[in-house]
Amino acid sequence: DAGITQSPRHKVTETGTPVTLRCHQTENHRYMYWYRQDPGHGLRLIHYSYGVKDTDKGEVSDGYSVSRSKTEDFLLTLESATSSQTSVYFCAISESGHSNSGANVLTFGAGSRLTVL
Amino acid sequence: AQKVTQAQTEISVVEKEDVTLDCVYETRDTTYYLFWYKQPPSGELVFLIRRNSFDEQNEISGRYSWNFQKSTSSFNFTITASQVVDSAVYFCALFNNDMRFGAGTRLTVKP
Domain ranges of chain B: 3-110
- Using the Cα atoms of residue A26, residue B39, residue B65 and residue B87 in order, give the sign of their dihedral: positive
| Whole-angstrom distance, CA of residue B101 vs CA of residue B45 | 12
The model's pLDDT over B56-93, given as tens digits with 9 standing for 90+, comes to: 888 888 999 999 999 999 999 999 999 999 999 999 99
The model's pLDDT over A16-34, given as tens digits with 9 standing for 90+, comes to: 999 999 999 999 999 999 9
Q: Fold for B3-110, please state it.
A: Immunoglobulin-like (2.60.40)
Q: Fold for A4-116, please state it.
A: Immunoglobulin-like (2.60.40)
Residues in B touching A94 (Cβ below 8 Å): none
Give B32-56 as a 3 state SS string: CEEEEEEECCCCCCEEEEEEECCCC
For residue A104, pLDDT beyond 80: no
- Residue A97: the pLDDT is 61
Residues in A touching B52 (Cβ below 8 Å): 103
Residue among A40, A45, A107 whose CB faces B99 most closely: A45
For residue A102, pLDDT beyond 60: no
Domain ranges of chain A: 4-116
Phi, psi of B102 (to 5 degrees): -75, 175
Size (chain A), residues: 117
How many angstroms away from the CA of B91 is the closest CA of chain A?
A: 7
**For B96, nearest residue in chain A (alpha carbons):** A100
**For A109, nearest residue in chain B (alpha carbons):** B44
For residue B32, pLDDT beyond 50: yes
**Single-letter amino acid code for the residue at B2:** Q
B7 touches chain A (CB under 8 A): no
Strand partners, A66: A76
How many angstroms away from the CA of A48 is the closest CA of chain B?
A: 10
Kindly report the CA angle at B90 between A46 and B105, in degrees rounded to 5?
95
B101 touches chain A (CB under 8 A): yes
CA atoms within 13 A on the CB side of B92: 28
| Whole-angstrom distance, CA of residue B78 vs CA of residue B41 | 20
- Residue A1: the pLDDT is 53
When pLDDT is averaged across residues B23-50 and rounded to a whole number, the result is: 93
| Whole-angstrom distance, CA of residue B67 vs CA of residue A106 | 21
- Residue B58: the pLDDT is 84
Query: How far does Cα B39 stand from its chain's mean position?
Result: 11
Give the confidence band of A111 by pLDDT, cuts at 50, 70, 90: very high
- Residue A72: the pLDDT is 96
A41 touches chain B (CB under 8 A): yes
A&B contacts, CB < 8 Å: 50
| Whole-angstrom distance, CA of residue A31 vs CA of residue B40 | 25
- Residue A100: the pLDDT is 47
The model's pLDDT over A65-91, given as tens digits with 9 standing for 90+, comes to: 999 999 999 999 999 999 999 999 999
For residue A99, pLDDT beyond 80: no
Phi, psi of B43 (to 5 degrees): 100, -15
What is the overall mean pLDDT for chain B? 93
